[in-house]
Structure 1
Amino acid sequence: MSEDNKKKSKPKWKKVLKIFFLAFFILAVIASGVVGGIVIGIIKDAPEIDPTNINSLLNQTSFILDQNGNVLEKIQMDTGEYRTIVSINQMPKHLKDAFISIEDERFEKHIGVDIIGIAKSAIDNIKAGEIVRGGSTITQQLARNLYLSLEQKWSRKIQEAYLALQMEKVLTKDQILEGYLNRIFLGQGAYGVQAAAQTYFSKDVEDLTIAESAALAGIVKSPTRYALYKAIKPEDFDSEKHIEVGELDILGEKYIAVFNAEAVRRQKIVLAKMLELGKITQEEYDEALAQDIKTSLKPGERKVQGISSYFNDFIKVQVIDALMEELGYTREQAEKELYTGGLKIYSTMDLELQKTLEEIYDNFTEVLLGKPDKIKAPALISWRLNKAQNIIDERNSILYYKKENLLDDNYNLLIEKDSYQLSNQNLIIKSPKLTIYSNNIDIADYYTIDDRKNLVTHRVGNLSLPSEEFSIGEDKSIIISANFLNKNSDFYSIDKEGRLLINQKYFYVQKEGIVQPQSATVIMDYKTGQIKALVGGRDIEGNRILNRATSSARQPGSTIKPIAVYLPALDNGYTAATPIDDIPFYDGNGNLWPNNWYSGYRGIHTLRKSVEQSVNVNSVKTLQSIGIETSIEYLSRMGIINRDDPTKDNFITRAENNISNDENLSALGLGGMTRGLSPLEMTAAYGSIANAGTYIKPTSFTKILDKYDNVLLDYSPKENVVVSPQIAYIMTDILRTTVSNGIAGRAQIPNIPTAGKTGTTQDKADAWFVGYTPHYVMGLWIGNDSPQIKLNQGSAMAAQLWKIIMTKIHEGLESKKFEQPPNIVSVNICTQSGKLATDLCSRDPRGSTVKSEIFVQGTQPTEFCDVHVELEIDITTNKIANEYCPDGSVERRVFIKRNPPYNPQKHNGIVPSDYQYTAPTEVCDKHNQDSWIPDWLENWFNNGNDEDYEDGEFEYNDNQDEPDGSNNNNNGLNIDSNEDEE
């Protein structure tokens, strides 16, 4: 290329480059403007704040309202000591340092947003290959907790940074840190360091050690992963995997607190960071590492305060679940929103019904038994006592000690002098009062009798001993080390009688106790699924530790029969008139099973009567006929079984436990379930029958508003069809006559149609009545928390209490009938065949078996009864008369002819009570050709014809070969046994 051309090309290249940079600059400016505009727009949408009112924002209380909008409860996670906003001056320096070290080491230097910190956290995260450190400052976290939603969006991060900058302008670092430490979520429902100190260690924040403070600071990163203990249900506890550190009562549900080793690993990271930053010395670091957090945990001593009712407890549970399922919140986010989000929750509670129900429960014993002076202690209980007055079970094992036999007046544990010894300064105890469970020493429980003559049971917790300070001897004795005793000189003393007294400070005692028997009730509007009133137990001084209405599964007994057996049967070929024969039945080993509530067997019942009389044999036979899978399908439709998530129901499938499960005749036919069902589950299932065959998931609230009164959730419960309205109506009518004509008569409400079913489990451990009217469905359970202590009455007591409650809540309500759907027809049937009645059915020797029965159009019988037959019987042998039987010994009788026939010889001679009406199959063998003349003569004399004989007027044709009347003349005697006589 020539020099001239080169000169010409150079300016052109420069020009292009200049244009490129100019365009880039312009685009950058435009982009910056756009981004800036977006940021400004986002900032404009940020909420206006007053950073000076942080303390009031820390308590954004949510409210529960009744169905009319009246405030029922101000929701607080805890009251008193657990929710107190503690001053920054009450917090130990090492606690503040722990949180600053791990969450925001440049807290004292930045202006609310830490660019250096963000860069460092990014580098640390890249080095670690995972998120080990967040970029948000403590100020940003506080801004987010106080003012912003839970959305994971860049717009929220921008608003968070903006708000943090605003807060730093008007608040001191101490004010920000104080607000942060009082609001931060630290797992297990604890908000703020004071709540966490009580939740995990049962102490106040100022008493926390460096080790404990570091453990709490470590939780912030992930409260689910790093909480110091995890709460698991008792059925999920595995002693080989879990270390129990206490028991929990969370919103009416029982949980076991198990140690979380992940938390300690996180705690060590916090301590290392504190050492690196010079917040603690090497000596303090070593001492903190040496503290055993596991033995420091004391979750069992925490008590939930300020709960207004079992109903409100359940509302909180359902709201948390709904926020998770409907809005995608994590459990932590849902709990945070409930307890600190300023929500308005509209409950389904009918306040007047709730008050009525609670008033009856406040006077439970008197309502059932009358005046206290007429009540014999223990009220409603059947117990067994040993000579020392301790309650024992059938194997004579002690269930509850009498208080005086377990504790002294100061609640110190009493160990008899022959049950302990001191050896080499070690304390050796071998007593039935102490039991080893998974490295914990469990202390036996005790009982008292209160002023109202109720049995009261009291729980005693574990003996507080570090696991390394005791061992187990070969004879199962407990050996407590001299080292522990030297450090804890107050652990024991010896009284003047030589008994060992273990100091009460080393274990928990539930002094207020739990009244027995317990009971739970749920009242629902079955047309909407709305729970109108609920009580989860009987209380002593408001001591609510378990919501038995929603969270306690008990064996349902015979109340299972309508929902697991008879409703599915009606939908699969059976009718209310289908005959079922109550005759001996056998289990898989050939043993007679099951027993009925009455002795023996009663024979043929219709399906209706089988329900009315709660016939165990017929329930099992019907279940076997329709099949276990069919029963399971209908229970799934009624909310009893959750096929999508079996962990969320109480039903145990073979897949869950191949050995002990509920897929069997006993569980589904008689209610002998592995775990049982809750009153809420039973009430909702019966409600599906009442609601024309449509199941509606029970709900305790209708809508939730956020703190700005915007609708956060408008809740519509799930529903599905179980059976047709016609089948449901047939079942309802059967349950109605179970009350009016059957064994549940005690439940009949005056002037209101009442449908329902009783249930009693073995040895009266549980008593149930579940039923409904045209207005409400209600389930009621009575029993002891320990099923080994029995009731002195069965389901009659439950039916009686059910009637008392329902009668009260129906006052002033319209008396109306259950609504009958179309295509229901009535037909006169025979109760022995289930077919159309005949004249013979009306002549049954027990009385007429003709009944009017209802059917779904198209399922009514079209054939006539073939079970009743009429036969001529020789009354001297009760066999079918033959041609030789004399007239005087022959009668026409109506019998039943079983199909298939019943053979007592196959059942060791056992016969049902109606067997005497079964048609004979043998022909008379007493009368024959050789005996017919003497028989005739005897009959003739017995009829007063001796005078005619003496006059010689009788003639006999001795040429007659067969006495069938064919050769008789006018003077002969016709003995044709087939001839009808009027």
Structure 2
Amino acid sequence: MSEDNTRKQESEKKKKKKKKKNGLKIFLLILLMILVVGIGAVTGMVIAIAKDAPQIDPTNIGSLLSQTSFILDENGNTIEKVQTEEYRTIVSLEKMPPHLQNAFISIEDERFRKHIGVDPKGIMSAVFDNIKAGATVRGASTITQQLARNLYLNNDKKLDRKIKEAYLAMQMEKALTKDQILEAYLNRIDLGQGAFGVQEAAQTYFSKNVDELTIAESALLAGIVKSPSKYSPYFTVRPEDFNGDTQEEIGQVDKFGEKFIVISNSNAIKRQHVVLGKMKELGYITDKEYNEAINEDIKTILKPGQKKINGISSYFTDYVKVQAIEAMMGKLGYTREQAEKELYTGGLKIYSTMDVNMQHKIEDIYTNFTEILFGNPQKLKGPVLIDWSLDKNKNIVDERKKIIYYRQENLFDENFNLVIEKGTFEIRDGNIAINNKKITPYKNNIDIGDYYAIDDKKNLVTHSVGSLTLPEDGFRMEENGEVLILNTFLSQKEDFHRIDENGNLIINSNYFYRSKDGIVQPQSATVIMDYRTGAIKALVGGRDIKGNKLLNRATSSQRQPGSSIKPIAVYLPALDNGFTAASIIDDIPHYNENGELWPKNWYSGYRGLTTLRNSVEQSINVNSVKVLESIGINTSLEYLKRLGIINEEHPEKDNFISRAENKANNDENLAALGLGGMTKGLTPLEMTAAYGAIANSGTYTEPITFTKILDKDGNVLIENNPKQNMVVSPEIAYIMSDILRTTVANGIAGRAQIPKMPTAGKTGTTQENADAWFVGFTPYYVSAVWIGNDSPTIKLTKGSAMAAELWKNIMIKVHENLEPQNFEMPPNIVKVSICSQSGKLPSEICSRDPRGNTIISEIFAKGTEPREHCNTHVVLDIDTTTGKIANEYCPKELIQSKVFIKREPPYNPADHNGIMPKDYQYTAPWEICPVHNQENAIDEWIDEQFNEENNGEEEPPIEENPENDVENPNNGNGNNQNDQTPGNNGNDNGNGN
């Protein structure tokens, strides 16, 4: 039994063993099936994800790399790298030193030359290192994978992105060589501080080109890739945040128009040491090279690069960008979006017209604006050039006593929280009702008033304040004008307000914007242009401006031009339409359509007969209006079209308001064209270009800021040849130019005269000194200077004389080392002697004018010189006792021949409320002597006879008889009511005869 039992047990064991073996086989088979299915599923998933990867053409990698565009000066030197999110300059691998390439390969992908785009061994090694460290200390992506991710994917940390990345990397490896991949990678990689690619990084951190990098510098750049924010070789901080005790300054950089202090980053140095160690381990550098590199003092080799040259504001280059975009749209057919993308990412080279040396000189003058014009500002009693009106609380107010700018202390507390005074607000049902002039409610927002301060140079500084940060349903405006800030908002924003110890409502400064730096007033702008080529050589759009968003007052701020409009809107057209420099205009009272005396001259009264030249020299308002009336508004408009002021094809692009654009308020009137009181005004750039046509022999040249644009491959995209058109003949332009020259030499613009250099130009001042202009030119350049406050309601203490002074200071610097030369005279100019009172050839009596010799020399375009002789001067016999024209009965001993001027048409003061022009006293009388007549002549003859008979004895006295005591109005006693010399009072009715 025992034997059978044993056999039975063994049999059962065998059965169990067999069953177990079969179960294992089944399990293994099932496991194998599961693995096959799993691998299939994973493979299917991988294939599905790979299919979803973007379609790529690895051969066009270069076109996918955005590049930094450059603005260059006229000599091809870099002025500015066009501001963008990614600064990048593409260079070939041949220009990258081997030790630079090896530094990146060592730390980022040591088997780069061997793998197929992905590196399984590298992945396992990275996994092992990360498990060992208990954190992610090493990435597994190859250089090719990083390039694929940067070009085609995003940085999501998802499995499908990693699969796509690997797939695309292998696709790239099939199509490109290792060198092509490495070149693209080193031009694409983010290296911190806005620098993308090794060339831009070399400039950013060391101010050198990539081929000049040392081993130490190359390792420092390679170390950045892991974390650009952590391993950037330096950090930047604002000056106010810099701590000199714990931070060491190694330089300064300009970012977005703001100065930043540069401090070194110790983390970058530690990372550099890791890179150098890896390079040594892999045999890329020797022990000696390692030791030299690791001992190099990084603080001494860091030299922060600038995105633009120092000492120059961005006004000029900003306008270059504007013109470049417009040119690409107009000449290449780009949309605005395409043009902007090309500018900011296309690697363009834009050759500007800037003369950097000249630009520096002007910027320096504007930096020292106050000192140049006034000397020590501390000696000034009030703010520089500011003619302000203050209320009792020292807020700046306009003519209607409305507050323009609050005094800083009246608007804020010491922490710049908004103060709403007790009594101007009320808390009702949890809402705050405010009735205070400091805030102005609108439908969608609540504005806060602006404020001012005075800086240490005695400049007025204006600060803008934004709107309260409130949702639209957080407030409403009541019918009585109150602003109600609702409890629904206040309950959620407990820090919005508080009540101080004086019962004032204090609104937290976090709930509104405030311009901290402010804007210096008055402001000013200057443009300097080569009028022959249209090239803008220098441009400043404001003074003492901080921050990136700049109002370019030279190109974008329209201001009324005042009298500087006269040469281009009145006198140049007049000279081309029958007037000459010698044409006579009578400065006498003029009236508007309402019968009111208008316009007023800048001086009191009227001067009388004046040549056109003198009318410009003395900026006579009356004469400007009269000449404009003579030539007609339409004639003036035609010349403004030729001068670039009016854009007939695209009126929306100019600053001139036509009647078609606005019937009620437009510039087609005497005030706008004759006196410069325009609706919007003109910019300094427009005025510069218009005057440039006068200087350029009558040819208008469109102002340009660049001459050509090259694409990233050096091909010419645009040759920027300025448009030109004839405005007037060279002869007419020269005469106008010469009139403007004597306006400076002899007229009211004398402050603009440049020593030893012919200077031509015209001043302009608007009502109550809101704007001051000088626009002028020399044989080299044309330029406009404007001075005024950004708010025209604040006036200047001085007018155009100050603008002329500034213009002279600028142009003296511009003309340093330039030889004096005269304006070029065209051949058909003739010089003729004329009478200044008639504009005609002088007669024999012109030299006998009681004021002195009136014969002067004047220039004319050949064929327009006068042919007739003066008939304004006349000789009359005057009775010296009456001052009137002598008649046949006037005694010869009382008659004297005198020279007078005879007006056509005659002027009668009685028709003008007794007003007499300055020269009226020299006007020929029109009345005949009323004292000496036939009856009186007989009486005198009898008297003579009586005297002879009485041997010269006196006539016996007449007996007193009251009845005979009657005054004979014609008794020759000289008391006749009409017996008055012209010019003695306002009651003379002489009609100029």
Q: TM-score, normalised by structure 1?
A: 0.68
CA shift for structure 1 position 375? 2.4
For residue 76 of structure 1, the aligned residue among 65, 83, 86 is 83
State the SS of the aligned residue for 1:647. helix
Is the Cα–Cα contact under 8 Å of residues 531 and 695 in structure 2 kept in the other structure? yes
Match in the other structure for 1:3:
none
Answer yes or no: is 1:874 the counterpart of 2:879: yes
State the SS of the aligned residue for 2:622. helix
For residue 533 of structure 1, the aligned residue among 538, 552, 556 is 538
Match in the other structure for 1:709:
714
State the SS of the aligned residue for 2:461. strand
Identify if the C-alpha distance between structure 1 residues 951 and 375 changes in structure 2 by more than 3 Å, giving closer, same or farther.
Answer: closer
Q: Write the letter of the residue equivalent to 1:67.
A: E
Unaligned runs of 5+ in 1: 1-42, 81-138, 147-161, 183-250, 253-303, 953-982
Q: Deviations over 1:735-773 (max 9, x none)?
A: 001111111111111111110000000000000000001
- Percent identity of the aligned residues? 63
Match in the other structure for 1:683:
688
CA shift for structure 1 position 876? 1.6
CA shift for structure 1 position 44? 14
CA shift for structure 1 position 309? 2.0
CA shift for structure 1 position 940? 13
CA shift for structure 1 position 808? 1.7
State the SS of the aligned residue for 1:418. coil
State the SS of the aligned residue for 2:491. helix
Q: What are the residue-to-residue correspondences of 1:949-964 with 2, within 5 Å?
A: none
CA shift for structure 1 position 948? 13
Is the Cα–Cα contact under 8 Å of residues 68 and 86 in structure 2 kept in the other structure? no
Q: Write the letter of the residue equivalent to 1:658.
A: K
For residue 447 of structure 1, the aligned residue among 452, 459, 474 is 452
Paired with 1:623 and 1:651, the residues of 2 have a C-alpha distance of 17
Answer yes or no: is 1:49 the counterpart of 2:56: no
Is the Cα–Cα contact under 8 Å of residues 886 and 936 in structure 1 kept in the other structure? no
Q: What are the residue-to-residue correspondences of 1:278-427 with 2, within 5 Å?
A: 308-427=313-432
Q: How many residues align?
A: 708
Q: Deviations over 1:477-520 (max 9, x none)?
A: 11111000011111111111111111111110001000000000
Q: Deviations over 1:831-865 (max 9, x none)?
A: 11111111111111111111111100111111111
Q: Deviations over 1:372-431 (max 9, x none)?
A: 332233011111111111011111110100001001121111110111111011111111
Identify if the C-alpha distance between structure 1 residues 495 and 946 changes in structure 2 by more than 3 Å, giving closer, same or farther.
Answer: farther
Paired with 2:719 and 2:779, the residues of 1 have a C-alpha distance of 27
Match in the other structure for 2:70:
63
Is the Cα–Cα contact under 8 Å of residues 567 and 728 in structure 1 kept in the other structure? yes
For residue 489 of structure 1, the aligned residue among 489, 494, 512 is 494
Match in the other structure for 2:784:
779
State the SS of the aligned residue for 2:514. coil
CA shift for structure 1 position 932? 3.2
For residue 550 of structure 2, the aligned residue among 545, 553, 558 is 545
Is the Cα–Cα contact under 8 Å of residues 357 and 805 in structure 1 kept in the other structure? yes
Is the Cα–Cα contact under 8 Å of residues 68 and 84 in structure 2 kept in the other structure? no
State the SS of the aligned residue for 2:889. coil
For residue 501 of structure 1, the aligned residue among 498, 503, 506 is 506
Match in the other structure for 2:932:
927
Q: Deviations over 1:918-959 (max 9, x none)?
A: 111110001122333676899999xxx99997599xxxxxxx
Is the Cα–Cα contact under 8 Å of residues 383 and 458 in structure 2 kept in the other structure? yes
Q: Write the letter of the residue equivalent to 1:49.
A: I
State the SS of the aligned residue for 1:409. coil
Bigger Cα Rg = 2
Q: Write the letter of the residue equivalent to 2:61.
A: I
Is the Cα–Cα contact under 8 Å of residues 512 and 543 in structure 1 kept in the other structure? no
Paired with 1:715 and 1:812, the residues of 2 have a C-alpha distance of 29
Q: Deviations over 1:631-666 (max 9, x none)?
A: 011000010000000010000001111100000000
CA shift for structure 1 position 339? 1.0
Paired with 1:814 and 1:940, the residues of 2 have a C-alpha distance of 82
Identify if the C-alpha distance between structure 1 residues 723 and 938 changes in structure 2 by more than 3 Å, giving closer, same or farther.
Answer: farther
CA shift for structure 1 position 905? 2.0
CA shift for structure 1 position 714? 1.1
Match in the other structure for 2:464:
459
State the SS of the aligned residue for 2:426. strand
Paired with 2:772 and 2:897, the residues of 1 have a C-alpha distance of 48
Match in the other structure for 2:276:
none
CA shift for structure 1 position 545? 2.1
Match in the other structure for 2:105:
none
Is the Cα–Cα contact under 8 Å of residues 785 and 803 in structure 2 kept in the other structure? yes
State the SS of the aligned residue for 1:487. coil
Identify if the C-alpha distance between structure 1 residues 906 and 47 changes in structure 2 by more than 3 Å, giving closer, same or farther.
Answer: farther
State the SS of the aligned residue for 2:681. coil
CA shift for structure 1 position 715? 0.7
Q: Deviations over 1:527-552 (max 9, x none)?
A: 10000011000114456620000000
Q: Say what the alpha-carbon RMSD is for the aligned residues.
A: 3.4
Answer yes or no: is 1:810 the counterpart of 2:815: yes
Paired with 1:867 and 1:663, the residues of 2 have a C-alpha distance of 35
CA shift for structure 1 position 78? 5.9
Q: Deviations over 1:241-292 (max 9, x none)?
A: xxxxxxxxxx99xxxxxxxxxxxxxxxxxxxxxxxxxxxxxxxxxxxxxxxx
Paired with 2:660 and 2:737, the residues of 1 have a C-alpha distance of 33
Is the Cα–Cα contact under 8 Å of residues 760 and 768 in structure 1 kept in the other structure? yes
Identify if the C-alpha distance between structure 1 residues 441 and 927 changes in structure 2 by more than 3 Å, giving closer, same or farther.
Answer: same
CA shift for structure 1 position 893? 0.6
Is the Cα–Cα contact under 8 Å of residues 427 and 480 in structure 1 kept in the other structure? yes
For residue 636 of structure 2, the aligned residue among 627, 631, 635 is 631
Q: Write the letter of the residue equivalent to 1:841.
A: C
Is the Cα–Cα contact under 8 Å of residues 886 and 935 in structure 1 kept in the other structure? no
Paired with 2:838 and 2:803, the residues of 1 have a C-alpha distance of 34
Is the Cα–Cα contact under 8 Å of residues 58 and 175 in structure 2 kept in the other structure? no
Match in the other structure for 1:437:
442
Q: Deviations over 1:186-205 (max 9, x none)?
A: xxxxxxxxxxxxxxxxxxxx
Paired with 2:715 and 2:440, the residues of 1 have a C-alpha distance of 54
Paired with 2:378 and 2:460, the residues of 1 have a C-alpha distance of 16
Paired with 1:382 and 1:491, the residues of 2 have a C-alpha distance of 38
Paired with 2:894 and 2:369, the residues of 1 have a C-alpha distance of 64
For residue 803 of structure 2, the aligned residue among 798, 806, 830 is 798
Identify if the C-alpha distance between structure 1 residues 855 and 450 changes in structure 2 by more than 3 Å, giving closer, same or farther.
Answer: same
Match in the other structure for 1:103:
none
State the SS of the aligned residue for 2:660. coil
Q: Write the letter of the residue equivalent to 2:438.
A: K
For residue 754 of structure 2, the aligned residue among 745, 749, 755 is 749
State the SS of the aligned residue for 1:417. coil
Match in the other structure for 1:723:
728
Identify if the C-alpha distance between structure 1 residues 528 and 913 changes in structure 2 by more than 3 Å, giving closer, same or farther.
Answer: same
Match in the other structure for 2:592:
587
Q: TM-score, normalised by structure 2?
A: 0.68
Is the Cα–Cα contact under 8 Å of residues 419 and 506 in structure 2 kept in the other structure? yes
Paired with 1:940 and 1:856, the residues of 2 have a C-alpha distance of 66
Unaligned runs of 5+ in 2: 1-54, 88-146, 155-167, 192-255, 258-307, 955-993
Paired with 1:314 and 1:708, the residues of 2 have a C-alpha distance of 24
State the SS of the aligned residue for 2:652. helix
Q: What are the residue-to-residue correspondences of 1:179-258 with 2, within 5 Å?
A: none
Paired with 1:917 and 1:767, the residues of 2 have a C-alpha distance of 36
Q: Deviations over 1:204-234 (max 9, x none)?
A: xxxxxxxxxxxxxxxxxxxxxxxxxxxxxxx
